[in-house]
Amino acid sequence: MAVPGTPKTVRVKGPVGPLVTEEHQMLFEHFALNVSDPRAMARWYVKNCRMQVVRSLDKEPFTHFLADAGGRVVAEIYSNPKDPVPDYASTHPLRFHFAFTVKDIEDVKKRLIAAGARLEDASTLEDGSRVVMLRDPWGLPLQLCQRTKPMV
């Protein structure tokens, strides 16, 4: 039985989740990017990566919050002239990339390339997991992962 006034202790879901109090719990909400055409990009990610728009603005900066199919991870895209849009196409994919777990990496790779993505690299890791690095039509690095053991 909880003692009144004592913060509730919860175990954070995950393979090594420590005990934390609810008042100190932090959950990742979103990752934001300034892009040239957030409306077109949102349509592409919804159509081709099974993302869903969970919030958006129909006026500048045309912000779109996109959640993955599981509603677990959210990306925010917008076009804000206060800061120039980076040259994502020349940014090394190790600096950052969107990564999606998939069951059939070859099928998804072919489908995304047909939709305008560009292949950068493909490899098999020591544990047999496969990863494919693509660029979306705006040059953002987009990784596909077919893991032998799920990340979470």
Find out whether 29 and 76 touch, Cβ atoms under 8 Å.
Answer: no
**Amino acid 36: pLDDT:** 97
pLDDT in tens, 17-57: 556 667 777 888 999 999 999 999 999 999 999 999 999 99
Q: Which residue spans of the chain are classified as CATH 3.10.180.10?
A: 28-84, 86-152
CB-CB contact of 116 with 98 (8 Å): no
Position 68 pLDDT exceeds 60: yes
CATH superfamily of 86-152: 2,3-Dihydroxybiphenyl 1,2-Dioxygenase, domain 1 (3.10.180.10)
CA pair distance 67, 78, nearest whole angstrom? 15
Averaged pLDDT, 66-72: 93
Question: d(Cα 42, Cα 74) in Å, to the nearest integer?
Answer: 12
For residue range 77-95, list pLDDT tens digits in order.
999 999 999 999 999 999 9
- Reported as a single tens digit per residue, the pLDDT across 99-136 is 999 999 999 999 999 999 999 999 999 999 999 999 99
Nearest to 34 by CA among 101, 82, 70: 82
Give residue 9's pLDDT. 47
Query: What is the C-alpha to C-alpha distance for residues 85 and 102, in angstroms, rounded to an integer?
Result: 29
Q: Residue 48 has what pLDDT? A: 98
Quote the CA–CA distance of 59 and 56 in Å, as a whole number.
Answer: 9
Q: Write down the pLDDT at residue 14.
A: 52
- Residue 133: what pLDDT? 98
Topology of domain 28-84 in CATH is 2,3-Dihydroxybiphenyl 1,2-Dioxygenase; domain 1 (3.10.180)
Question: What values do phi and psi take at 105, rounded to 5?
Answer: -65, -35
Tell which wins on pLDDT, 140 or 72.
140
Tokens standing for residue 111: 């489908």
